[in-house]
Amino acid sequence: MKPTDSIEWKSAPTSEQQVVGILRTAILDGKLPVGEFLSQRKLAKLAGSSVISVRGALRQLENEGLVENVPHFGVRIPEDTPAAVRDRYLIRKALESAAVEQIHGKLPEEMKEKLLGTARELDRLAKEHAAETYLDFARLHQEFHLLIAEASGSSLLIQMLRRVINPALMAINAKRSWQIPAERHANHTRLAEAIVGSDPGKAIGEIQTHIQTGLESELATL
């Protein structure tokens, strides 16, 4: 057997990727000021890297929605406003309602089990409400909602939904939602059961109720 037969080779993260991780964590942990323009030199010092790597990292973080670039002024962490949150959920409601409508009666058993299993794990994490698991919840939450889009068979719908529920936004949302009592979290198992069930009207009603609950929870923690 060749040495490479039993080894999974992975390329080491680039300097820019390392900086992205450091700055993303700093933003999510609230260690950088919101609404103020950020000094690239200070960010480079924080990340232990060059300003050039920081500039590349900021471009990626802008794509994730964690920072915004204001021409002639610089980069800052945007303040999330009630209007911006409502706008995101408005788009989610339209996209995910359309996805649920498309998948009725077309789900293979494997996809049904995957949706149900992911939903149950989400509800377990929400019920336990351990402080260190909000990022696990965020990752799984994004996966669950993208599964719904994937089941619709529309590549454009998947692409559009990814922009609204990207990992950074889901992480911010999860961190906020951890401030509310566990019993107030949306029931993902009930939603999944409706989606895999035989009543399309109930499934659409459940996804719309689910998104409305998420909107209200996020607004309450702003």
Whether residues 159 and 55 fall in one domain: no
Residue 2 lies in a domain: no
Residue 170 lies in a domain: yes
Report the DSSP beta bridge partners of residue 74: 70
Residues 96-141: tens digit of each pLDDT: 999 999 998 789 999 999 999 999 999 999 999 888 888 899 999 9
Whether residues 86 and 101 fall in one domain: yes
Residue 146 lies in a domain: yes
Residue 215 lies in a domain: yes
Q: What does the block give as tokens for 109?
A: 């058993």
User: Can you give 128-187 as a three-state secondary structure string?
Assistant: HCCHHHHHHHHHHHHHHHHHHHHHHCCHHHHHHHHHHCCHHHHHHHHHHHCCCCHHHCCC
In this predicted structure, what is the pLDDT of residue 72?
87
Res. 41: pLDDT tops 80: yes
CATH number at residue 98: 1.20.120.530
Number of domains in the chain: 2
Helix, strand or coil, per DSSP, at residue 68? strand
Whether residues 66 and 140 fall in one domain: no
Whether residues 97 and 69 fall in one domain: no
Residue 5 lies in a domain: no
Residues 171-208: tens digit of each pLDDT: 888 888 888 888 888 899 999 999 999 899 999 999 99
How far apart (Å, rounded) are the C-alpha atoms in residues 37 and 40?
A: 9
